[in-house]
Amino acid sequence: MNPDVDLQHFMRDIQTRAESALDARLPSATRMPERLHQAMRYAVLGGGKRLRPLLTYATGRALGVPPEALDGLACAVEFIHVYSLIHDDLPAMDNDDLRRGKPTCHIAFDEATAILAGDALQALAFQVLAHDPGILVGAEKRIEMITALATASGSYGMVGGQAIDLDAVGKSLDLPALENMHIRKTGALIRVSVNLAVLSAPGVATEVAHGLDHYAKSIGLAFQIQDDILDVESDTQTLGKTRGKDQDQNKPTYTALLGLSGARQKALDMHGEAMDALAGLGREADLLRDLSRFIVERNH
Ligand code: GRG
């Protein structure tokens, strides 16, 4: 079998599956307050690579969890991700007008509506984890899942990483400090996308769970390094978001610290670490391997 073809099929299937799972869990655009619900649907639907859902479903496949039991988990993580994109694009943060190839939420609607849409998506994520009937675990496991997502997205995770990032504008960070920021800002949510699927599988051996967590941590960093590379090398149209923002805002990046070829090597090293972390798993984890490769080879 050609791994590229397998991955393309999987990505297409999951992107379609995630789209309808997200659609089904979002409030209807005709339900009050209509404008808020329209903004939530505008930001979530019809765009994005759905990398985090892809990781949840690929981990589930490696552990024998059926996709129906993963839909709610994948949606919860994607709702948090989209809320972070909406808020990150606001004038008070990155002040961007393009996201996923279309006007950002506050441009298409207005700033107050965009803030509220992000807030409501965050709440919806936890509502889904707490109540989604498809998630086939008991109350105790659900609480573990809610705790994991809250920790990954809160002040010790994504929001904390964003705070460190905002504070670092115009300053120089060394490599460990840059890595610490990204482990929180983008890495934590990528990591929990894998770990929620692990929590949904019964009887996962501790070494397997550790291996998957290490895989997720490694690809989280690889993802960010590639993001920095693309910010230098790609163009706005391919990225679907404004290129070169990091340099313009004088933000510390892997490319600034290591140069382009150093950053490329570091991304490959992280991919290698992710592969090693999956050594205890067989062919059932091949999609996770392919996704890691996709992360370091992607052009958007
Ligand atoms: C504002 C609460 C708050 C958090 C912001 C993660 C984050 C923290 C902001 C996202 C902004 C950003 C551009 C981060 C750099 C890397 C990143 C997460 C890019 C977007 O993720 P992709 O490439 O996006 O997976 P798609 O659109 O494909 O889902």
Which structural domains are found in the chain, ordered by start? Answer: 3-295 (1.10.600.10)
- For the cut 80, the answer to whether the pLDDT of residue 234 exceeds it is no
* CA 3/CA 224 separation, integer angstroms: 23
Q: What is the mean pLDDT of residues 208-234?
A: 95
* CA 90/CA 269 separation, integer angstroms: 34
Which residue owns the Cα nearest ligand 1 atom 4? 84
Closest ligand 1 atom to residue 118 Cα is 2
CB atoms within 10 A of CB 282: 9
Angle at 175 between CA 169 and CA 180, to 5 degrees: 75
Q: Which of 1-10, 71-80, 177-186, 287-296 has the lowest mean pLDDT?
A: 1-10
What pLDDT sits at residue 239?
Answer: 63
Which residue owns the Cα nearest ligand 1 atom 20? 85
Cβ 43 under 6 angstroms from ligand 1: no
What pLDDT sits at residue 170?
Answer: 81
Instruction: Please state, in angstroms and as integers, the Cα–Cα distance from residue 220 to each residue in 4, 213, 234, 249, following that order.
Output: 21, 10, 20, 23
Q: What is the mean pLDDT of residues 212-217?
A: 98
Q: What is the DSSP-derived secondary structure letter of residue 69?
A: G
Which two tokens mark 77? 């993580």
Contact between residue 275 and residue 289 where contact means Cβ atoms under 8 Å apart:
yes
Alpha carbon 268 to its chain centroid, in Å, reads 19
Q: What is the mean pLDDT of residues 203-217?
A: 97
pLDDT band with cut points at 50, 70 and 90 for residue 226: very high
Considering only CA atoms, which of 148, 158, 155 is closest in space to residue 198? 148
Considering only CA atoms, which of 148, 151, 110, 101 is closest in space to residue 129? 148
Contact between residue 31 and residue 120 where contact means Cβ atoms under 8 Å apart:
no
More confident: 233 or 119: 119
Q: What is the mean pLDDT of residues 201-206?
A: 96
Q: What SS3 state is found at 102? A: strand
Cβ 264 under 6 angstroms from ligand 1: no
pLDDT band with cut points at 50, 70 and 90 for residue 4: confident
Average pLDDT taken over every residue of the chain: 94
Considering only CA atoms, which of 177, 166, 154, 178 is closest in space to residue 255? 178
- For the cut 60, the answer to whether the pLDDT of residue 3 exceeds it is yes
Cβ 186 under 6 angstroms from ligand 1: yes
* CA 59/CA 288 separation, integer angstroms: 7
* CA 125/CA 57 separation, integer angstroms: 17
The tens digit of pLDDT for each residue in 122-179 reads 999 999 999 999 999 999 999 999 999 999 999 999 999 999 999 988 888 899 999 9
Q: What is the mean pLDDT of residues 25-43?
A: 98
What pLDDT sits at residue 90?
Answer: 98
Cβ 228 under 6 angstroms from ligand 1: no
Q: What is the mean pLDDT of residues 74-97?
A: 97
Closest ligand 1 atom to residue 49 Cα is 28
Strand partners, 98: 103
User: What percent of the chain clears pLDDT 70, i.e. is strictly above it?
Assistant: 95
